[in-house]
Structure 1
């Protein structure tokens, strides 16, 4: 006998979605959704996929929301989860807000919503789906940020775009001793529940649950890798896209100090345990939010629990405890420039990254450059390129051959947020989503946006084939031109956007880390 959620999903599948007029209607496990039809795209926004994580549900895994008979207006974006900019961030709070959260979105602890954009033409085969996991250092970010609007991507590429929220900073990654290990990384449980929601409901929007690609940038890219590691079998996706993800081959050990600092700051001074947790659940969210964004705020990052976040990804891959799915992954030519702002000590960088190399060895990799010039290159190479290489090599070692590596080099004047910042971290995202500033963009930028959408969509639709002309699958320890240099030297058309290059030209620093 069918029970519970299984029966519920089957019943919903029997309902017919109504895609007509200016307010399309879709029936889901979250309710009967009334969306908007605009510019050949149907959007359904602010869809709850979990009960509000408030009060007793704060610091708890998300609870699925199952209200199929409830009628819901899905025409407006839901609020972002409570953000932490404060003293934690890439450059500083003001800069990070300007770059990532302009115009600012409303924030609320009640924030477990997602958004869906689907082409108005729902005829023919079920469509491929992209689920976006946003970046922001696990401190901030939202599926409701304007830069992640899925209209252009869905319309131009005939795919479905889904952008879920997940809890960040202390609300998503509390790292508390009393929550260890099952509940320390709540944001990852939010991600998994959103992926399950897609599996249960995306067919109602014209999508194919067997053709889901998870995609993320920065912390979102790290999330993609960890999702793949969390789901070695019965995966709720078939491919992944990793953009500029700093993916350490060995994550730091468990540390509960950040949560302890918060508890003391809000007068929950009990010893770690149920009493202290109950105290913290009763603290008004605005109090925690103000502290986290104030001068005393500290950083909250994922805790190594080996359930949702694994200390040694390479070892886990070698043990075949990861999903064998195609990957498209890479970095930007100037991925280190934002993180290098204000840094002048190369020796301090080497120590901070725990690199087992000497400063003389690093300097020798970049002849003729000063330490200040080397710092952004070293950040890009050691933190991004080499780690991506090690992950890719490990996956190929267990038989995953569908790996496409890239480096993105487009530089447009209207995107230069700081002098000589180049093709910086995050600069490709607006091109892929088509949310660049059309009033300041050149014709070349508009062309590249459509090209990048096409390349990414080609992979989403068929992740085992080359996503662009002249782009080969990557093979380690081989001078085959299998690294795609994207949009270098003004090449912005699909026919020339890929400049095939030997990966070894960029992987030279990895020799110091014994990754070659």
Structure 2
């Protein structure tokens, strides 16, 4: 049975697309004092950039599989070069495609266990009027991903939208989510603890870059959206952010993981020569294994998946109920999904019955048959039914549950969307469409300038501005004709973005019936909302 967390978190990092080369203007050095030291960054063309800022001690040696330890220094620090990525896991049947699409293959980042760094881009010069801040969390199934790639460069947003941009690294796969019985349950979701420490650093230091610590919006895509979901749930009181943006990653309810979740870690420990019973002795042995050898295992054919455990501290199994009860951060929310979020994950799948069985759906509910599922998607062939089923179970229906729960809890500033832009240079596999993560180069302005059509260039400006408008004022409509979301069939508040080539500010939003995309969720919500 496929894990629902695995399905919902796979992928989301960056694309092949990178900025075209432009005119290089003069740079100057700029220094800002922080708790991590006196950072020497670069000022160029109205943007200050500080890259590779250490926010935690290296999580290696005795600190491997320990909560992150804050890094504090008063020394001078170079902040002009992106840091190493945390070790990434590209495994299983999709490994080659995943790495090709999401790891900047022309110039892949160096990987290291010493990877807990963040980056800041800020309008220059820093003014006395503090600016909104966006805190970006990358995706990648909590197995891979990094802030150290060109596609997440914050220059365009900082320059064009007058916003401070922060991107962070966090531990993934066995380094960040070991699922280890050797550790306390609450010490297993280390990647989430890394994210929280990075956010604490931003609260402490962002004012020195011209940012307002009281105007932070947390934003993530896929596993990054899942991570944002977690922050929303675990900060019901005085959240350290004022708004949240979830691109294709809202977290549904899940059945609690149990001892079975330790299987991948136990197999890993045996494979690398630490055959002791679970406990301190085995942990000590594993801390002696080189990080490179661990990466070789996790990227090899015998590795399992390493996922969050339900610990009732960083993750919970009753997210929807918590939101409905007001037991979550009561902040404005913008959330949605791609029209074709499922195509990337189902390349080559044509047998619907086999897909349902392999995904574990039929084991959960015997009523989920191929005939029943086909009836939810009339007029479609099985290839399209499979892709749309994946989209709905993993992305669309969780977003529907989250946005409805937010409204039900009394949060009035909720904006829901579905993104439908399709561009020729992004059609990188059959039946791609508006596929998972293709909104990101438009958002960051890091699309391939040499292949982008004029419509793609225009949409990048339009979409980036809409998201920036929400970051600047999350209680107002982010774009013309984009209403606040009210669930149900009696309102037209679902924003379809960039459908049918509509990319201009005045036509990029088409408001449609609020639950018009949710019909299949009648079945799938049984799996998502316990």
TM-score in same-fold range (> 0.5):
yes
Which residue of 437, 448, 457 corresponds with 2:459?
448
TM-score by length of 2: 0.90
In structure 2, the partner of 1:82 is 87
The answer on 1:253 being equivalent to 2:274 is: no
Deviations 1:193-231 (A, max 9, x none): 000000000000000000000000000000000011111
The answer on 1:92 being equivalent to 2:94 is: yes
The answer on 1:178 being equivalent to 2:182 is: yes
**Separation (CA, whole Å) in 2 of partners of 1:218 and 1:280:** 30
CA contact (8 A) 1:172 1:185 kept: yes
In structure 2, the partner of 1:51 is 57
**Separation (CA, whole Å) in 2 of partners of 1:338 and 1:291:** 25
Deviations 1:422-476 (A, max 9, x none): 1000000010000000011111111110111100000000001100000111112
> Which 10-residue stretch deviates more, 37-46 or 53-62?
37-46
In structure 1, the partner of 2:212 is 208
In structure 2, the partner of 1:231 is 235
Give 3-state SS (helix, strand or coil) of 1:177's partner.
coil
In structure 2, the partner of 1:465 is 476
**Separation (CA, whole Å) in 2 of partners of 1:405 and 1:271:** 48
**Separation (CA, whole Å) in 1 of partners of 2:183 and 2:151:** 34
CA contact (8 A) 1:127 1:158 kept: yes
Q: Where do 5+ consecutive residues of structure 1 fail to align?
A: 1-19
Give 3-state SS (helix, strand or coil) of 1:24's partner.
strand
In structure 2, the partner of 1:39 is 45
CA contact (8 A) 1:268 1:279 kept: yes
Give 3-state SS (helix, strand or coil) of 1:499's partner.
strand
| CA pair 397-53 structure 1, distance change in 2 beyond 3 A | same
Aligned residues: 493
CA contact (8 A) 1:249 1:390 kept: no
Give 3-state SS (helix, strand or coil) of 1:64's partner.
coil
CA contact (8 A) 1:44 1:117 kept: yes
Give 3-state SS (helix, strand or coil) of 1:330's partner.
strand
In structure 1, the partner of 2:129 is 125
How big is the shift at 1:349?
3.5
Deviations 1:46-99 (A, max 9, x none): 0000000010000000000111x2100100000000011022xxx622221121
Greater relative contact order: 1 or 2 (C-alpha under 8 angstroms, separation 6 or more)? 2
Give 3-state SS (helix, strand or coil) of 1:84's partner.
coil
**Separation (CA, whole Å) in 2 of partners of 1:104 and 1:420:** 27
Q: CA RMSD in A?
A: 1.7
CA contact (8 A) 1:26 1:34 kept: yes
Give 3-state SS (helix, strand or coil) of 1:436's partner.
coil
Matches within 5 A, 1:291-306: 291-306=297-312
Off by >6 Å, runs of 4+ in structure 1: none
| CA pair 315-498 structure 1, distance change in 2 beyond 3 A | same
The answer on 1:166 being equivalent to 2:170 is: yes
**Separation (CA, whole Å) in 1 of partners of 2:307 and 2:295:** 16
In structure 1, the partner of 2:225 is 221
How big is the shift at 1:514?
5.9
The answer on 1:343 being equivalent to 2:349 is: yes
In structure 1, the partner of 2:485 is 474
| CA pair 86-147 structure 1, distance change in 2 beyond 3 A | same
Give 3-state SS (helix, strand or coil) of 1:463's partner.
coil
In structure 2, the partner of 1:4 is none
Deviations 1:251-305 (A, max 9, x none): 4523111110110001111111100111111111111011111111211111111
How big is the shift at 1:479?
2.8
Q: Where do 5+ consecutive residues of structure 2 fail to align?
A: 1-25
